[in-house]
Chains A and B, each alone.
Chain A
Amino acid sequence: GAGVSQSPRYKVAKRGQDVALRCDPISGHVSLFWYQQALGQGPEFLTYFQNEAQLDKSGLPSDRFFAERPEGSVSTLKIQRTQQEDSAVYLCASSLSGTSVNEQFFGPGTRLTVL
């Protein structure tokens, strides 16, 4: 596609529910990133894929967070047993290659509200 797309754009979950957030990167982009943006803050890194390999998951806040990219394209971020502190905007980004010098392009984000 022309840009990074994410779905759903908005998600309301009751505390304790599981949610799954989807990211479609720019076609052909090797690297895919997930970031979390709390209200009034800058985005913070969660996890990074190069093709289907998850090279860095150091930013995932707890073991309730899980991400996958099984075929090296679409990625899913799953949050189990959601808590109120998980409420945030989840942003996905992709870049052309796996080097550190490539420009990253962001999707519109998924706004998650946990009640």
Chain B
Amino acid sequence: GIQVEQSPPDLILQEGANSTLRCNFSDSVNNLQWFHQNPWGQLINLFYIPSGTKQNGRLSATTVATERYSLLYISSSQTTDSGVYFCAVVRRYSTLTFGKGTMLLVSP
């Protein structure tokens, strides 16, 4: 099956710093989503981005499908950004394959 690798596995930031999270995938995909899992376990949709670039406030994402990677940018990080960030892709049918996630801690 398709492999999804996320880096870094853990990240500690001071409030106000910027960061880039990376997602590599091993085969072509029909769909790619970024999620934020908050401390209560809820998966919050950040971006649906099989290709191209999107921005939403302090967050933006870029997927280069031909090179099989996606990047999530977080600018001016806040303590509420803490949690686990997952990249997930669809290869066949509609089932998502998730990476192991990046755990982000933003300290005040």
Contact = CB atoms under 8 A, between A and B. Distances in A.
Interface of A: 31, 33, 35, 41-45, 48, 55-56, 59, 89, 91, 93, 95, 98-106, 108-109, 111
A96 B95 CA distance: 13
B98 A99 contact: no
Interface string B65-108: 00000000000000000000010101011111111110000000
B41 A108 contact: yes
B36 to A, nearest CB: 11
Given A42-B101, A100-B30, A101-B31, A95 B94 contact: yes
The size bracket of the interface on B is: 20 to 34
Interface of B: 30-31, 33, 35, 40-43, 45, 48, 50, 86, 88, 90, 92-101
14 contacts: A33-B95, A42-B99, A43-B98, A45-B95, A48-B93, A55-B93, A100-B30, A101-B30, A101-B31, A101-B90, A102-B31, A104-B96, A108-B42, A109-B41
